[in-house]
Amino acid sequence: MRSRLVLASGFGAVVLAASTSLATAASTFDHGPMGFEPIAGSAYAASWDPTSPWVVPQGYTQELVSGETADRCGGAGLDIYGGGLDDWNDMNTVNETGRKRGRYLYRTHEVRLAVPGADPIYPDGGAVSVIDLETCEARVIAQDPTWTALDGIRWTPWGTILFAEETDGGRLFELTPNRNDPMSGTVVERPALGNLAHEGIEIGSDGSVYVIDESRGQSDGAGGGIYRFVPDRYGDLSSGALFVLGVNGETVVGEGVGQGAWIGPIDPATAPQAGTLAGGTSYQRPEDLERIGRTLYVAVTEGTRTGSAENYDGRVLAIDLLSLEVTNYVKPGLNAPIESGVVTGFDNPDNLAEGPDGKLWIVEDNVPSDIWVAKGRGGQADALALFASLTDPEAEGTGLYFGTDPHTVFVNVQHSKSIDVGSGRSPFGGRPEPRDGVLLLEHRGTHGDGGQAVGLIGTPRLARSVRTRRPISSRTGRTSSIPLPAGSLSTQSS
């Protein structure tokens, strides 16, 4: 069979496999549509080929889908900002429901509005782009000169796209694609969901929206929380109540693990401060969110601190959305190896994705940036394996995402060393500079589910074998909205 890994990247997409971080047999990960044999370790000394930037498992290949200078159809790709400026591809989603589901890939671009006189300057502001995965046509679907640091993006069960700004007081927006042309749409701001340093966005089975504040809350004294927005009406984000997660009776002092509760409502206009004052728990840079069944996973990129020293390099939390018990799902020194020098370990988890067989995929904000796969239900992972490692000496992998095809995964390579800002020169011996883009990773090996070769949704090859991603609202079988009354404190969620 052939499995694919689609990576949406600052340059491209790649597939990686890594060795287990736990004392677990590699066979734990060698089956299913994305089966792989873990790679031996992080790419500390691996040579860097900008056209194939990831170390991948045996049998996997990588192919550019759409970049700033080229695409897989032989076209020129999409270069939003020109002049050698990096497009800063960040997070990805496809149209998970509706007509032609899985055909359109939507991306945020994390460019930041510069201080006057600074370089580079992005006068057109942040953008959301879209790629037709069948034709390779790519265009900007939304852009505004006031948008800065666009990061998180999520398809909703009601057929819209949520995206947000990763900056203090950042805003969250809702984009409604045009029914007749999914490559165009309209955008409205959703202030009721909080002014936060947004990144991860997730949807509950009842239509609640989970968001985070990517502040160093424990160091700064405020923010760094995990929040739940409960709309007054399912699918209508114009009004509702915002709550913050508070953990009481910590099982590990200072870790923010133990019995949780949703506290509020709090003021969305000052959500970081209001949440902390109400009793919300602060973490060190929570970044991404991913819900698998009744569990909400949270990537916390930095560890707790003792004075100025970091105790460990980040972790992934698991929140049981029925009991609201909060645990360390993956943590260096607990059930993951500690990175030290050139010794492979788990370091600065950033983006999360649900794999086609329910495993949790994790990409690091680190050099080298690794992709890990964690297995195990409950509050703590019982197996962890290294899937891939990025050889680009200055980049990180972002936007890890599985679309409608179970054999493909998207991932971005962001702020690549290949980008020589403003110089107009290519450091690749006359070859087109890869720069930002989307990559397709393909598996031609012995591991997997034995299925037939498939391709990107929309192409004849892929259209024959696609995974229908379950609507987020149906993952736990509950679809009704259950708003919490003003002033309530609840230990239940969905």
Domains of the chain as residue ranges with CATH:
2-470 (2.130.10.10)
| Average pLDDT score over the chain | 82
Average pLDDT score over residue span 301-330: 96
- The per-residue pLDDT for range 96-113, each reduced to its tens digit, is 999 899 999 999 999 988
- pLDDT number for residue 224: 97
Residue 52 has pLDDT above 80, yes or no: yes
Nearest alpha carbon to residue 237 among 311, 163, 291, 292:
163
- pLDDT number for residue 408: 83
> Considering the entire predicted model, what is its pTM?
0.86
Residue 22 has pLDDT above 80, yes or no: no
d(CA 312, CA 215): 17
d(CA 32, CA 407): 9
- pLDDT number for residue 115: 62
Q: Which spans in 179-270 are helix H?
A: 217-220
Residue 424 has pLDDT above 70, yes or no: no
- pLDDT number for residue 182: 97
Query: How does residue 421 score in pLDDT terms, banded at 50, 70 and 90?
Result: very low
Choice between 401 and 416, residue whose per-residue pLDDT is larger: 401
Helix (H) or strand (E) holding 274: helix 271-278
Three-state secondary structure along 58-118? CCEEEEEEEECCCECCCCCCCCCCCCCCCCCEEEEEECCCCCCCCCEEEEEECCCCCCCCC
Tokens of 171: 């805003």
Query: How does residue 371 score in pLDDT terms, banded at 50, 70 and 90?
Result: very high
Helices and strands in the chain: count of H runs, count of E runs: 3, 32
Amino acid symbol at 257: V
Residue 13 has pLDDT above 90, yes or no: no
The share of the chain scoring above pLDDT 70, in percent, equals 78
Average pLDDT score over residue span 179-188: 97
- pLDDT number for residue 378: 83
Residue 352 has pLDDT above 80, yes or no: yes
Choice between 227 and 56, residue whose per-residue pLDDT is larger: 227
Residue 477 has pLDDT above 50, yes or no: no
Residue 348 has pLDDT above 80, yes or no: yes
